[in-house]
Amino acid sequence: MRLYTHPTCLEHRPGPGNPESPARLEAVVEAISARWPNERWHHAPAATREQIMRVHRADLVALILDSRFQDADDTLHIDPDTVLGPGSADAALHAAGAGIHAVDGVLGGQARRAFCAVRPPGHHATSMQAMGFCLFNNIALAAEHAIWVHGLTRVAIVDFDVHHGNGTEAIFAADARVLYLSTHQSPLFPGTGAAGDVGIGNAINRPLAPQTGSGAFRGLWSGDLLPALAAFRPQLVLVSAGFDGHRRDPLADLQLDADDFAWLTGELLAIAERHASGHLVSMLEGGYDLKALQECAIAHVDALLEN
């Protein structure tokens, strides 16, 4: 198991009052480092502009990478949630680079699993629009890298963040090489991800009512989503690991516990073992209660480290 992060991911500062704060990543890295002091962190290199252009349109890439700021506190609001500042371009490049290099590490045989503790998150970003705290779509960039550089033809993206990964789904809407699976609270931002929304047969969306809780969440994965994932026989399992489904999260009300994320991680690993030589790359998405985020990240990484 490889852990990836980069200190520049702390330099994206959307400002006081924005829940997607640098403190989130500090909390995750601190908790994992305290629990496993001997696990080495790999510093994620920056993605290249060419790699970013595999997913994102030139005007969005230019907005994020080439905007200029007058001073350290200057910001540019893309929307009320999504903010650029002087440190945002480097943070976004290293967050994307983490997934790309984790894919290289896993498919290159250096480790079978990886967890990328990075921010800003990515799954709301479409090819042309940064939104919902997300600048570049980190998990989509990792999937495209696996397809274009490593020649994979079946890549699964499992998204258990409490919000629907509208950007990821849209990017692969017409690409049968990628299967997108998501549970998400509904109604909730961004409002996409209806059960009838199946793409070209490569998207499985399961909206969940508020207060769904552990039993129904696990039942849905066991009875429906995990069998579909196994039937796809993924060569690589990518995970959009958002922990904002936790019962203490301030942005949602799904009423999950850290144990639920540990359980689902174990189930995903079992499918990765069966079909993908154990190859799984997980990337941090949401999670906005710092203590809950730490508990969930520990549970997730603990499952990734076992065996």
Select the span of 75-83, 112-120, 236-244, 254-262 touching Zn ion (CB under 5 A).
Answer: 236-244
Size of the site for Zn ion (CB under 5 A): 5
Q: What are phi and psi of 217, to 5 degrees?
A: -60, -50
Q: How far is the CB of 150 from Zn ion (least distance, A)?
A: 28
The single-letter code of the amino acid at 71 is D
Binding of residue 286 to Zn ion (CB under 5 A): yes
Binding of residue 163 to Zn ion (CB under 5 A): yes
- Clarify whether 246 is annotated catalytic: no
For the sheet containing 41-43, what is the strand order?
Answer: 41-43, 2-5, 113-116, 280-284, 236-241, 155-159, 178-185, 203-208
Select the span of 43-51, 158-166, 179-187, 265-273 touching Zn ion (CB under 5 A).
Answer: 158-166
Binding of residue 289 to Zn ion (CB under 5 A): no
Binding of residue 249 to Zn ion (CB under 5 A): no
Binding of residue 161 to Zn ion (CB under 5 A): yes
Which residue number, 193 or 286, has a Cβ lying nearer to Zn ion? 286
Which residue number, 141 or 188, has a Cβ lying nearer to Zn ion? 188
Which residue number, 99 or 242, has a Cβ lying nearer to Zn ion? 242
Which residue number, 85 or 286, has a Cβ lying nearer to Zn ion? 286
Q: How far is the CB of 160 from Zn ion (least distance, A)?
A: 10
Select the span of 36-44, 102-110, 244-252, 298-306 touching Zn ion (CB under 5 A).
Answer: 244-252
Which residue number, 160 or 232, has a Cβ lying nearer to Zn ion? 160
Binding of residue 159 to Zn ion (CB under 5 A): no
Contact pattern for Zn ion over residues 22 through 51, marking x by CB under 5 A: ------------------------------
Binding of residue 12 to Zn ion (CB under 5 A): no
Q: Residues 55, 106: contact at Cβ < 8 Å?
A: no
Which residue in 124, 184, 246, 279 is the catalytic one?
A: 124
Token duo for residue 10: 């702390």
Q: Exactly one of 25, 242, 246, 257 binds Zn ion (CB under 5 A); which one?
A: 242
Judged by the rule CB under 5 A, the positions of this chain that interact with Zn ion are: 161, 163, 242, 244, 286
Catalytic residues: 124
